[in-house]
Structure 1
Amino acid sequence: MSPSSVRLTVALPTYNGARHLAEALRSILDQSSPPFDLLVCDDRSEDETLSVIQQLAGDRARIVVNPERLGLAGNWNRCASLSRTPYLAIVHQDDVLLPGHLALLLRVFSQHPDLGMACGATQVIDEFSLLIPPSVIERPDLGPTDRLYPPGAFVAELAERNPVRCSSVMLQVDALNDVGGFDPSYRYAVDWDCWLRIARRWPVAWLTTPTVAVRWHSESETHRFHRGTADLDEVARLLDQLHTLDSALLPDPLASRRAADRALSAAYLNRSLDALHAGDALLARSSLGRSFSLHRPILGRILRDPRLALQMAALVLAPRWASRHLQHPAESPSVPPRNEPPAEP
């Protein structure tokens, strides 16, 4: 098949991803249709990443090694700049595409050629590729039917949290270029910010059937506890900007902002609890204070759980004692189900 007939680039930005890369790569290579250009942009990996790619993909992959470390946004932008096709799918190095994923999204574009992006629901799997139930990690729910959003309408779906996982997305390259690509000033919310800028100006399609499995590294503390709040602070910055610039696009701006603050407050509370269990009382106290400042009724949720209330009280009244005696408990008190996306590679 001639290169001019290929309309899709599947980009795999990699960095030290050898552990799960083989499964991700096989899931791409096993997509029966449509024909696609497989592009690997490696951000100077120091493990066996390149060997895995070369062994499994051979000459089916166009492999580029960045001359220097570009970071997350930089590597994604490099993927876009090297794309030779009108459509681009960026797949994370540890996620898994289910059969028919690429064909389904490209069919949506063929039916609606003015789309800026098509995306959809996802499954969540652990390090052993076993499904994680929604009671452990919430799934974003945008309703039971596929939806086509006109320009500006999808912003409302992004106003409280980010329901879109990068591996589930297919982009029109013109749309990505139109909004200036991925913003390197973001590290944690880089995808959320990009979807928002596209949604303001382009139509977006949402599909309800999960066709991608996103991997949650349960063995990694990165997904439960960050030594700091840079990720949550970045989300707060994005939400402040969104609710300042896009209030006219929201059906009920005040209710939307309250819901966003409530969700972010719960995330700070989770971070406080994780920090306390890790023995970092300073981080635990600052996170708890941020949680309370965002959504004061969070105090009621704390008080309804006696164990959680006692631990938070100890943190406030005797932080040194709490950091010594509450470190690594046998089991955690009940807290709201996590709605944090898996960390990006």
Structure 2
Amino acid sequence: MTTLDIMLPYYGDVALMQAAVRSVLAQTDPDWRLTVVDDGTEPSVPGWFAELDDPRVSYRRNERNLGVTGNYRTCLGLVREAHFVLMGTDDIMLPSYVATIRAALAKHPGIGMIQPGVEVIDGAGKPTEGLVDQSKRRLYKPAFKGEVLMGGEALATSLLRGNWLFFPSICWRTEAVRTAGFRDGLEVTQDLALVIDVLQAGEQMLLSDTLCFQYRRHAVSISSRQAFTGVRFEEANRFFMDVADRLDGTGWTKAAKASRLHLSSRIHALTMLPGALKNKQAEGARTLLRHVAGADHR
């Protein structure tokens, strides 16, 4: 059975990154390879990796900052195995993650994507489930027990209504991702874009309820001015409209309709509006209102 490539595009908090790496080192199944691609400049990081002295761990620092998509592409180019994970720099693999994924691959060797069971944690590592995660789980995520295979327009429609996946926990078939690639001009919607492109190429996803990953969702501080500018929703509008046109072109009209409505994203923007108003982000509030109202819906 194949070794699992774990790719970690890193930029940000050193302590959280170190916790993520330690969670990989603690896997019960030792057949993995971790590659960390550092897009930052923190001086202490290279020395910390040198001290790990584990032949399964590779570390490299980019000569210049590549940004989210650039670092994703660098990681993809370094994958050597048939399947890989693009792990979040602040997420945690529970000790059974690799064992769970490799067992699933043994049963479904040609699968394009595997979404295992995920627990949401807060910045302190405590289990949490906010309104956004609750609504996605209850309203959008398909109900199942054990495992289920999904794909095609049905899965695309479900995700475009409300993206209930946890991107850093997904195991990917390498060639499927290399064929699809990462789209230019996207950051916050890059994950959903990749899934939709892979689905349109005919790949399927295995959903499992076996809990083996912790996804860290940080609380958005009401005092954070940058969080309420509405920029992320401008990108979201462009993405959903573009995807709708692409889906119409391939006959996935139900999924295209869901993309144009992008209801979950509009509700999310509505929850951000009070923060924008409190922070006196007038332009941000207008952007959020346009997104809530579906001003770009066509």
TM-score of the pair, normalised by structure 1: 0.74
Cα distance in 1 for partners of 2:284, 2:106 equals 50
CA contact (8 A) 1:155 1:250 kept: no
In 1, the alpha carbon distance for the partners of 2:186 and 2:290 equals 24
Q: Shift of the alpha carbon at 1:250?
A: 5.7
**How high is the sequence identity, in percent, across the aligned residues?**
21
Q: Partner of 1:23 in structure 2?
A: 19
Is 1:119 the counterpart of 2:115? The answer is yes
Letter in 1 for 2:192: W
Query: How far 1:25 moved relative to its partner?
Result: 1.0
AA partner of residue 24 (structure 2): I
Q: Of 80, 84, 89, which residue of structure 2 is paired with 1:84? A: 80
Distance 1:276 1:184 in 2: 31
Q: CA RMSD in A?
A: 2.8
The count of corresponding residues between Structure 1 and Structure 2 is 289
Distance across 1 between alignment mates of 2:267 and 2:234: 13
* TM-score normalised to structure 2 length: 0.85
CA shift, 1:135, in A, is: 4.3
Give the corresponding residue for 2:97.
101
Please name the residue that 2:45 is paired with.
49
State the distance in 1 between where 2:296 and 2:131 align. Answer: 23
For residue 36 of structure 2, give the secondary structure of its aligned residue in structure 1: strand
**Based on CA coordinates, which of the two structures has the bigger radius of gyration?**
1
**Residues 222 and 69 (structure 1 numbering): CA distance in 2 closer, same or farther, change over 3 Å?**
farther
Q: RCO (CA 8 Å, sep 6+): is it higher in 1 or 2?
A: 2
Within the alignment, does 1:229 sit opposite 2:230 as a pair?
A: yes
- Farther off after superposition, 120-129 or 46-55: 46-55
Q: Shift in Å at residue 13 of structure 1?
A: 1.1
What CA distance in whole angstroms lies between the structure 2 residues aligned with 1:204 and 1:119?
Answer: 7
Matched, 1:171 2:167: no
Instruction: Give 1:206-217 correspondences, 5 Å limit.
Output: 206-217=207-218
Contact 2:9 2:39 in 1 (8 A): yes
Q: 1:220 to 1:77 in 2, by over 3 A?
A: farther
SS in 1 for 2:161: coil
Matched position secondary structure for 2:182: coil
Contact 1:15–1:44 at 8 Å: present in 2 too?
Answer: yes
Unaligned ranges ≥5, structure 2? none
CA distance in structure 2 between the partners assigned to 1:61 and 1:151 by the alignment: 36
Greater fraction of residues in strand: 2
State the secondary structure of the residue aligned to 2:120: strand
CA contact (8 A) 1:18 1:47 kept: no
Cα shift at 1:196: 1.0
Residues 324-339 of structure 1 aligned to structure 2 (within 5 Å): none
**SS of equivalent residue, structure 2 residue 218:** coil
